[in-house]
Structure 1
Amino acid sequence: MAVSLKDVARLAGVSIKTVSNVVNNSPAVSAATAARVRAALEALDYRPNISARGLRTGRTDLIALAIPALDEPYFAELSGLIVEAAARQGWTVLIEQTGGDRGLERQAAAGSRFHRIDGCIACPLALTGADVVELAGQRPLVLLGERFPRPAADHVAVDSVQAAREVTRHLIELGRRRIAFIGEQPATRIGGVRLAGYRSALVEAGHRLDEDLILPTGPFRRTEGAAAMTRLLAGRQLPDAVVCASDLLAVGALRTLLSAGVRVPEEVAVTGFDDIEEARYCTPSLTTVAPDKAGIAETAVELLCRRLRERSAGPPVDVVAGHRLQVRESTAGAAVTSGPPR
């Protein structure tokens, strides 16, 4: 038989209402009484009846997190931070891997992949603006990433144009003149906005834009970065620096350069984007744009919390998350940090 609130109340010597207040983290219970109730909850191994609570409160305390790929380090790290932030709010996170498929992204945001969810945090690659308008009208939705410049739902993203401009400017200030870009993706905003920042920095510095140095890729994988670097090595003149639209692309490019006997950073400097753990431990360590992943996670959960608990129906909030340029051996030959997130 499942343990009920009545059972817990009897053991703790309090009312059922008091037990309910403790379970729901209400401040209306004294610390001593709350401790006694929690001890009873643990002793009886109490588990809340989510279905019953959902019928009573209209909430399940379940939220969905829709990401393109669990095996991509950036999304794995961000997912862990979101799960931790949601747990502090008393929520359970159901993670959906979408593969960038529009149908799966729609299903995750609508809650049709699960029995019931209160809201969704999503990093979409394929949703349209019309999709977002429709889905945000059904339940609270927070978007991550750079897919939508002015979405109809709350949105948290790094200013990738500015970040890419900064990392390109860093290479220019080091005296690099023939700077390539790996990761153009016309079908998504991610590669596009980072390419825009790269272009902007070159124009500002008075450098000529060489379209032969801009290499498109498929998904941001190590193999794609390695293949793009192989194409650059086969060109008439080797670039002296490469801006990669993600760390995984940069790791693949590094592998190809080192296998070809090209010294990094002496002959070719390499930069990435995302500051995944691998960037700190590859050889040489990777200079990269480091998004404030913890801040992104906390902000996304806070926005969803506001929509759910305050029943807020105000206009969408667009939050620009912080980032910093993390300079390491792949450009400077020594690991240093340029400054705190902004």
Structure 2
Amino acid sequence: MNNKTIAKMAGVSLSTVSKIINNYSDVSEETRNRVLEIMRKTGYTPAPSLKKSNLIVVIFAGKQNVDFTHPFFNAVLNSFKKQIGSLGYDLLFLTNTKTDGEENDYLLRCLSYQVAGCVIISGQEIEPSIDALDQSDIPCLGVDIKLTGKNSGYIMSDNYKLTSKVVEHFYLMGYRDLGYIGSSTSSNISNIRESGYRDAMDALGLTIHPEWFVNGTDFFEQSGYHAMKKILQAEKLPRAIFAASDLIAIGAMRAIEEHNLKVPEDIAIIGCDDIEACKYTKPTLTTMRQNKEKLGVLSALMLYDLINNQASTSSFVVEPELVVRNSCGNQNGSYGVYSS
């Protein structure tokens, strides 16, 4: 299989195929799509002798994706952008919206642009086409999403250990009646955090009350607000809640306040991510810090090594850190005595 064969199958000239591979603009969209579709179906990858661009594709993966409005991933991406830019690369963002209702084919689009590599940021309901990109020859680096391809790697916080630290802190502060607010059950990160939270509670012999474990629709405030409203309908209320993101925690705090209860006097809250807003909530939000700047820099360096064949498939897990503020116990971190 070569460019000439693809040209014959598509009924176009060899120069047209070359233009499409090298992302020239003077080719109609219809012709471009027809040629790329044939390449996809035949599994044809352009010859490695073709010059790659200096473009790094950024993909917010998932049918319900996390995007620029999310302060955690926005901070990671800013750090990534600075580091990858200093290494001589530019960023290209691919949308995940198809007007014809068809699923994205990220691999074909990346082949079209002859990208140097991809950074894939986790969302919810990860699209099957992400797997095809991961398993291709294009170097890919996942952020909060495990990639397994021969030219892929990933980086994430230790989401399982993270929740053990939360339960440990609650326990040391005297809280025993614990609840959890997660994102959608389609979110792998939220599911890992809930699993770790439940296992840590089991290890300490704490009772799990199903009515205090509620999943929302995403990692944003409104989801946390409505999930907390549901928990507040229970006959007995939890004394502490872990939220799978700071934005969920902020929404939950608003629901608690509307219920004429106080944080942490009535219900303590711990969030996750340590976004800037945590310092300005009332009370300030205790949270599990994920080092956003480190995640961004490491992502860029790891992807650079994959692109330049300086590393095989690689993965790295960043240690989370508890940041104690006022929404859970005393700000100085002194441990209290349990009271129901």
User: So what's the TM-score if we normalise by structure 1?
Assistant: 0.74
The percent identity for this pair of structures is: 22
* 1:83 corresponds to which of 81, 84, 99: 81
Q: CA deviation at 1:335?
A: 6.5
Match of 1:296 in 2: 295
Q: Comparing both structures, which one devotes a greater share of its residues to helix?
A: 1
Q: In structure 1, the residue corresponding to 2:327 is in which secondary structure?
A: helix
Residues 1:130 and 1:114: Cα distance change in structure 2 (over 3 Å)? closer
Match of 1:221 in 2: 220
1:244-259 alignment runs, 5 A limit: 244-259=243-258
* Structure 1 portions without partners, runs of 5+: 1-49, 338-342
2:57 corresponds to 1:64: yes
* 1:124 corresponds to which of 119, 122, 125: 122
* Structure 2 portions without partners, runs of 5+: 1-22, 25-47, 61-65, 335-340
Q: In structure 2, the residue corresponding to 1:288 is in which secondary structure?
A: strand
Match of 1:340 in 2: none
2:134, 2:148 within 8 Å by CA — same for their partners in 1? no
Q: Which moved more, 1:269-278 or 1:147-156?
A: 147-156
**Distance in 2 of aligned mates of 1:115 and 1:319:** 28
**Distance in 2 of aligned mates of 1:111 and 1:227:** 38
1:248-287 alignment runs, 5 A limit: 248-287=247-286
Residues 1:172 and 1:140: Cα distance change in structure 2 (over 3 Å)? same
1:254-284 deviation per Cα after TM superposition (whole angstroms, max 9, x unaligned): 1111222211111110011111111121111
Q: CA deviation at 1:322?
A: 2.5
1:185, 1:218 within 8 Å by CA — same for their partners in 2? yes
- CA RMSD across the alignment: 2.9
Higher RCO (CA-CA < 8 Å; seq separation 6+)? 2
1:11-52 deviation per Cα after TM superposition (whole angstroms, max 9, x unaligned): xxxxxxxxxxxxxxxxxxxxxxxxxxxxxxxxxxxxxxx99x
Residues 1:127 and 1:227: Cα distance change in structure 2 (over 3 Å)? closer
User: So what's the TM-score if we normalise by structure 2?
Assistant: 0.74
Residues 1:318 and 1:130: Cα distance change in structure 2 (over 3 Å)? farther
**Distance in 2 of aligned mates of 1:158 and 1:226:** 25
Residues 1:224 and 1:335: Cα distance change in structure 2 (over 3 Å)? farther
1:171-216 deviation per Cα after TM superposition (whole angstroms, max 9, x unaligned): 1111111111001532221110000111011111111111111101
Q: CA deviation at 1:164?
A: 1.1
**Distance in 2 of aligned mates of 1:209 and 1:282:** 28
1:281-337 deviation per Cα after TM superposition (whole angstroms, max 9, x unaligned): 11111111111111211111111111222375x3x2121112211111110242669
Q: CA deviation at 1:234?
A: 1.4
Residues 1:323 and 1:227: Cα distance change in structure 2 (over 3 Å)? same
**Distance in 1 of aligned mates of 2:327 and 2:112:** 44
